[in-house]
Structure 1
Amino acid sequence: MDLWKYREWTVDQTCQYLEEQGLGEWQAKFRENNISGVTLQYLTEQHLKDMDIRQIGDSLKILDSIRKLWQITGQGKVFNDPIHGHIELHPLLIKIIDTPQFQRLRNIKQLGGAYFVYPGASHNRFEHSLGVAYLAGELVDALSRRQPELQISPSDILCVQFAGLCHDLGHGPFSHLFDGKFIPKARPGVNWKHEDATVKMLDHLVERNNLREAMEQYGLELPRDLDFIKEMIHPKALTKETPWPHKGRGQEKSFLYEIVSNSTNGIDVDKFDYFARDSHHLGIQNNFDHRRFLKFARVCEVDGEKQKHICSRDKEEWNLIDMFNTRTGLHRRAYQHTVTKIIEIMISDAFLKADQFMKLSTAIDDMEAYTKLTDHVFEQILNSSSADLAEARQILRNITCRRLYKCLGQTQANEPMEVTQEMIQSWETELAQADPPHSFHDVSLQSQDFIVNVIELDYGMKEKDPIDNVRFYCKNDLTKAYQIRKDQVSKLLPEHFAEQLIRVYCKKRDKKSLEAAGKHFVKWCMDRNFSKPQDGDIIAPELTPLKPNWLNSSDKDGEHGSCKDVKPGKVNGPTKAKTKLFK
């Protein structure tokens, strides 16, 4: 129920507003006289007397509440969005959008380096934020209409939309590249994430643009509602034993913290929008239907828990499984694409070279400076003539001319590891020191020629099955939530929900260095007892047979020959090796 749309209120919604204003005793009079939103604006003191509300104090309270509605009535805006169609946003949200701090999101690519791989991925954090604000409003409004007993107030709805709109304010240039790759190397002692910057930027936006008065004018209570908005953007993870940590709303409204950023099971409107939007721009099929989720979402109490949770119909488990599969698919095919990661590593390298002169990493301490830091820094470096930026400029020129670092391959450890920056540096040294037989003695490889990139892939909840944390209800009992176990759904679901990939790149690009680096990589995998790279038999056919557990099953059985029969000199020559890659 939006206050700024009070003219569209029904009689029931008008009475709900009276209740929220502490005037619930007059609901019966308003119902009896059929006072709806459209007639509310014409109500006078004489009309109140005619309705038998004769005490002057009572009349003045009612009229004052009506005047508040007149004051906050403003013009919202309609945006034509390629994903959600025509979306209308609250006037307060428009005031936020029309600030320099929010407008900077127009200049931050949603998918960072993926734009250099997928030409359609030119969308930005600005349009994504509008989409999240819209979906947040749709979900909370649907819950309010479906379950009036939840007592979701207009200020609750506005706060949820506000949080959806501002949830990505803290992203730096090229989105996750900035806080995931650049800052950890530029400032290794600082534990900083874009969520931290979002909260600081939101405070800066409100103060810099004098929005406190407007927020109060539109019915928000400060500082409580501003705390609530920030808590929804970055909610704390909860367990059954955890005392309620939030100040903005009590436990009876715990479900509101699951709309924008859901720390319980990862099902939230942020993902709904970026799955649909990213898939659209990447040209990848999105199998998850967020509109069905909105249709069937309900708030239920879960046995043994003090908090209420947003639950879905039992028949929707496959739609949610499709959602988690979509997430993993987007990571494999786009976000963690081999070339995407190479380009992001190169951009990060360029930023690190430029940091001592441009002070990029110090901007996170000053939101005024951070407001001016966007993807445009790429062009600033690329087009500069400063000698100080020569190294950084050359790296970016190599990107634009497609002279990229080369991927040597991908491997996996037997068990996932806690990988630190020190461990990665140690691995790069080991790669340079690996001494494979038949190595190129006239090629010199140093640790700085290698880059190790560790990729974590999961379904959104690390190694856990995310469906374990989802609760469902059935049509026969809309109030009772229960768990659906994996074995109740299908035997085709995965046994593992996370994996760790180790990719190795080489900065050198000449053929001889790359051949040598490839053999170093295969030998390093053998020494580390990692899995055999997919094309290991092609890169180093003289090495892979030396590792017994790397042999293909046909090699072990003596069928179709073996890599031992392959002569290294003939691999890329006229007589090509017949290597069985798949069983």
Structure 2
Amino acid sequence: MGRRERGRDRQRSRLHAGSLTWDSIPGLQDHTLGCSGLVLAAGRPPVRLRAVQAPRFLTVLCRARVVAMQGADSDQPFKRPRCDGSPRTPPNTRSAAAGRSSGRELRPDHQSWGPEQVCCFLKRSGFGDPRLLERFRGSRICLSYYNFSTLGDRKKLQACIQQLSEIHVDAMKVINDPIHGHIELHPLLIRIIDTPQFQRLRYIKQLGGSYYIFPGASHNRFEHSLGVGYLAGCLVRALREKQPELQISGRDVLCVQIAGLCHDLGHGPFSHMFDGRFIPLARPNVKWTHEQGSVMMFEHLVNSNGLKAVMEQYGLIPEEDICFIKEQITGPLETPIKDSLWPYKGRPKEKSFLYEIVANKRNGIDVDKWDYFARDCHHLGIQNNFDYQRFLKFARVCEVDNRKRICTRDKEVGNLYDMFHTRNTLHRRAYQHKVGNIIDTMITDAFLKADPYIEITGAEGKKYHISTAIDDMEAFTKLTDNIFLEILYSSDPNLNEAREILKKIEYRDLYKYVGETKPKGKIRIERENYKSLPEEIARAKPSDIPLEAELKAEDLIVDVINMDYGMEDKNPIDHVRFYCKSDLSKAVMITKDQVSEFLPERFAEQLIRVYCKKTDADTLFAVKQHFVHWCLIRDFTKPQDGDVVAPLITPRKAEWNNMDSAQSPDHFRERSKFKLRLFQDDSM
């Protein structure tokens, strides 16, 4: 028998004929390992590998881990490690010199390391779970106990613990997603998904009424939520791999994934139509957002399905981690005390970067956007210019104003501008499509008329309406897009008005689009003044133009749209920090003028669109004259078709006529007469 065969025999015997279990590592029995990766709970059955696989499994994992520990940012070419796990680094490189110096420091006393030195080594390597370290101290585990004699062996120990902590008795569920490919989800995520509260997202359209405009926009909140949960795990794991000193634990990874998965549980029928249009009109005194609904629904999901025990089984601490998950979705759960240093309770300030993954309140760069950019563009047929994979590659945590923030490489600033430009493009071409907004408005009108007559049973048999179901999560669980069909096919005479509006949508007999304008400069219409706009337009009657129809405010709908890069009129890149290749730990700011002269000067604008509920010719003619005259009075921009729909009004404002502004009043009178003749000819 050769030397290699004898070595394999000894290895197999040490592995108990191929059974690799937690019992194979003395001192780790019955220990919940939550230090890194996914969590194994105490008392779980042992994980076993076949005899042929076990030695190869350990060898491959340990060597791969040693190479990874050399540093993701190393500029040295990859070299296969030696048989003892030490890297094959050229002898004259800086990393080799560092290795030799560190080896001289460690080798003389490594066999005399006590439990405390071992704990310090594990903590520096990213294993900061106090329970693991306490177990090592309590059992007085030291390296000599295992007869490890080289630095390579010590690194193998670290790699084995790291990999074993991620092995599960319950297999990871694999889902084939059209955007991200085959994605793996943790068993706890599957338990959350397989509940009525989460499954309702299958029946809520991601883009609301846009499905009536874009036939491909049939996707729902369900698949978007799966994608966000997956991307949240990708980002937090990427940070953990690159920076073990951050001490990102398995609990942290799992909580971030759950927050991504559950961040949209609070959406109502037709998504943003519900909390953006319907609730403000149905309950104007209630300040309710879908993020608040998500937090309430998540708590209801956990309690009604008994998931606290399941969370504990997978190593979570419900009292702390449920709070942490909620905070990631909606921010601090309590109003922060003035001048308080840290408003969150789920995680300490040292892990502040974890709050920037699912819903980034600082600059808007988060995995929620990454998924809906890719998913919505895919279903809408719009080009997506942002590549989140590059952000994953270059993301690092740096110190910024005494907080740990997620930063990226300086060369990625252009990619981030592309991200916000993609957001703006999606809003202009899809989310704020003029016909899509008309359909959302009509559905809102139908829901408002049906609201008093729709009853939804909640907890303890109490009845709720569409607008009040947000107060009871059992009732809200039953409220989905299906309410549209319930009204449409109802025979209740109380729902006649609502039913007729929905029938108009089915027959494409929609409210008519009148026109669009926008305020000039920094002038903006404040939200509290939105309600008065239809009355203003109805009163803006041109004095010298005969109109056959009398316009009323209730005939008009004024839609005010705020277009921006996600932070109102601010440049979100001003709130992003970057690092340079020469110094990975120093965060720097990159100003707009350092990037390009072609970037926008302003990052927000307001669009004002007017629709008319009536469709007869006389009313439409009247409302167009009123609208153009109102734009002139308010000194807003001229509607694009203003010269066609109101040729008698547009010449009254010199700057609306481009090059004609310096010409005489006689010219305006002649031009007006000519346009009037054209208009009369067209109407004959």
- TM-score with structure 2 setting the length: 0.75
Matched residues in 1 for 2:605 and 2:159: separation? 58
Matched residues in 2 for 1:523 and 1:239: separation? 50
Q: Secondary structure at the match of 2:605?
A: strand
Task: State the shift of 1:154 in Å.
Answer: 0.4
| Residue 400 in structure 1 maps to residue 436 in structure 2 | no
Contact 1:405 1:509 in 2 (8 A): yes
Contact 2:128 2:247 in 1 (8 A): no
Matched residues in 2 for 1:173 and 1:379: separation? 12
Q: Secondary structure at the match of 2:508?
A: coil
Matched residues in 2 for 1:572 and 1:478: separation? 71
Task: State the shift of 1:427 in Å.
Answer: 1.8
In structure 2, runs of 5+ residues without a counterpart are 1-36, 42-46, 49-56, 67-118, 455-464
> How has the CA–CA distance of structure 1 residues 244 and 505 changed in structure 2, closer, same or farther, with 3 Å as cutoff?
same
Equivalences for 1:158-173 in 2 at 5 Å?
158-173=254-269
Paired position in structure 1 for 2:550:
444
Matched residues in 2 for 1:279 and 1:99: separation? 29
Paired position in structure 2 for 1:199:
295
Contact 1:312 1:471 in 2 (8 A): yes
Task: State the shift of 1:335 in Å.
Answer: 0.4
Contact 1:143 1:299 in 2 (8 A): yes
Matched residues in 2 for 1:116 and 1:493: separation? 34
Paired position in structure 2 for 1:248:
346
- Of 240-249 and 377-386, more deviation after overlay is shown by 240-249
Paired position in structure 1 for 2:272:
176
Task: State the shift of 1:419 in Å.
Answer: 2.5
Coordinate RMSD, CA, aligned: 2.8
Paired position in structure 2 for 1:45:
none
Contact 2:537 2:626 in 1 (8 A): yes
Matched residues in 2 for 1:462 and 1:233: separation? 20
Matched residues in 2 for 1:551 and 1:193: separation? 44
Q: 2:526 aligned to 402, 414, 419, which one?
A: 419
> How has the CA–CA distance of structure 1 residues 291 and 69 changed in structure 2, closer, same or farther, with 3 Å as cutoff?
closer
Paired position in structure 1 for 2:4:
none
Q: In the TM superposition, what whole-angstrom CA distance separates every residue of 1:83-105 from its partner, at most 9, and x where no partner exists? A: 00000000000000000000000
- Of 11-20 and 191-200, more deviation after overlay is shown by 11-20
Contact 2:542 2:625 in 1 (8 A): yes
Letter in 1 for 2:352: S
Q: 1:137 aligned to 220, 233, 238, which one?
A: 233
Paired position in structure 2 for 1:291:
389
Q: Secondary structure at the match of 1:573?
A: helix
Task: State the shift of 1:409 in Å.
Answer: 0.7
Letter in 1 for 2:195: T
Contact 1:439 1:516 in 2 (8 A): no
Equivalences for 1:368-407 in 2 at 5 Å?
368-407=474-513
Q: 1:281 aligned to 379, 395, 403, which one?
A: 379
Equivalences for 1:121-520 in 2 at 5 Å?
121-236=217-332, 243-302=341-400, 305-358=401-454, 359-414=465-520, 415-420=522-527, 423-437=529-543, 439-520=545-626
Letter in 1 for 2:353: F
Task: State the shift of 1:352 in Å.
Answer: 0.2
> How has the CA–CA distance of structure 1 residues 574 and 451 changed in structure 2, closer, same or farther, with 3 Å as cutoff?
closer
Task: State the shift of 1:113 in Å.
Answer: 1.0
> How has the CA–CA distance of structure 1 residues 348 and 151 changed in structure 2, closer, same or farther, with 3 Å as cutoff?
same
Task: State the shift of 1:484 in Å.
Answer: 0.4
Paired position in structure 1 for 2:638:
532
- TM-score with structure 1 setting the length: 0.88
Contact 1:18 1:27 in 2 (8 A): no
Letter in 1 for 2:135: L
Letter in 1 for 2:615: R
| Residue 94 in structure 1 maps to residue 190 in structure 2 | yes
Letter in 1 for 2:641: D
Task: State the shift of 1:411 in Å.
Answer: 1.1
Task: State the shift of 1:437 in Å.
Answer: 4.2
Q: 1:556 aligned to 662, 675, 678, which one?
A: 662
Contact 2:548 2:622 in 1 (8 A): no
Matched residues in 2 for 1:472 and 1:38: separation? 31
> How has the CA–CA distance of structure 1 residues 509 and 144 changed in structure 2, closer, same or farther, with 3 Å as cutoff?
same
Task: State the shift of 1:429 in Å.
Answer: 1.3
Task: State the shift of 1:308 in Å.
Answer: 0.6
| Residue 573 in structure 1 maps to residue 681 in structure 2 | yes
Contact 1:458 1:499 in 2 (8 A): yes
Matched residues in 1 for 2:648 and 2:194: separation? 63
Letter in 2 for 1:251: K
Paired position in structure 1 for 2:39:
3
Matched residues in 1 for 2:160 and 2:579: separation? 40
Q: Secondary structure at the match of 2:291?
A: helix
Contact 2:519 2:637 in 1 (8 A): yes
Q: Secondary structure at the match of 2:476?
A: helix
> How has the CA–CA distance of structure 1 residues 118 and 239 changed in structure 2, closer, same or farther, with 3 Å as cutoff?
farther
Contact 1:544 1:550 in 2 (8 A): yes
> How has the CA–CA distance of structure 1 residues 220 and 549 changed in structure 2, closer, same or farther, with 3 Å as cutoff?
same
Contact 1:113 1:174 in 2 (8 A): yes
- Of 350-359 and 523-532, more deviation after overlay is shown by 523-532
Contact 1:80 1:87 in 2 (8 A): yes
> How has the CA–CA distance of structure 1 residues 420 and 18 changed in structure 2, closer, same or farther, with 3 Å as cutoff?
closer
Matched residues in 1 for 2:532 and 2:470: separation? 29
Paired position in structure 1 for 2:169:
73
> How has the CA–CA distance of structure 1 residues 39 and 298 changed in structure 2, closer, same or farther, with 3 Å as cutoff?
closer
Equivalences for 1:97-116 in 2 at 5 Å?
97-116=193-212
Q: 1:84 aligned to 173, 176, 180, which one?
A: 180
Contact 2:202 2:220 in 1 (8 A): yes
In structure 1, runs of 5+ residues without a counterpart are 42-65, 577-583
Contact 1:132 1:273 in 2 (8 A): yes
Matched residues in 1 for 2:499 and 2:196: separation? 28
Task: State the shift of 1:241 in Å.
Answer: 6.2
Matched residues in 1 for 2:147 and 2:501: separation? 71
Letter in 2 for 1:571: F
> How has the CA–CA distance of structure 1 residues 18 and 116 changed in structure 2, closer, same or farther, with 3 Å as cutoff?
closer
Aligned length: 546
Paired position in structure 2 for 1:23:
135
- Of 423-432 and 131-140, more deviation after overlay is shown by 423-432
Contact 1:3 1:73 in 2 (8 A): no
Matched residues in 2 for 1:142 and 1:112: separation? 34
Contact 2:214 2:380 in 1 (8 A): yes
Contact 1:279 1:285 in 2 (8 A): yes
> How has the CA–CA distance of structure 1 residues 238 and 464 changed in structure 2, closer, same or farther, with 3 Å as cutoff?
farther
Letter in 2 for 1:419: E
Q: In the TM superposition, what whole-angstrom CA distance separates every residue of 1:134-175 from its partner, at most 9, and x where no partner exists? A: 000000000000000100000000000010000000000000
> How has the CA–CA distance of structure 1 residues 23 and 254 changed in structure 2, closer, same or farther, with 3 Å as cutoff?
same
Q: Secondary structure at the match of 1:523?
A: helix
Q: In the TM superposition, what whole-angstrom CA distance separates every residue of 1:478-516 from its partner, at most 9, and x where no partner exists? A: 000000011111111111001111111111111221111
> How has the CA–CA distance of structure 1 residues 18 and 345 changed in structure 2, closer, same or farther, with 3 Å as cutoff?
closer
- Of 259-268 and 518-527, more deviation after overlay is shown by 518-527
Higher CA-based Rg? 2
Matched residues in 2 for 1:514 and 1:238: separation? 51
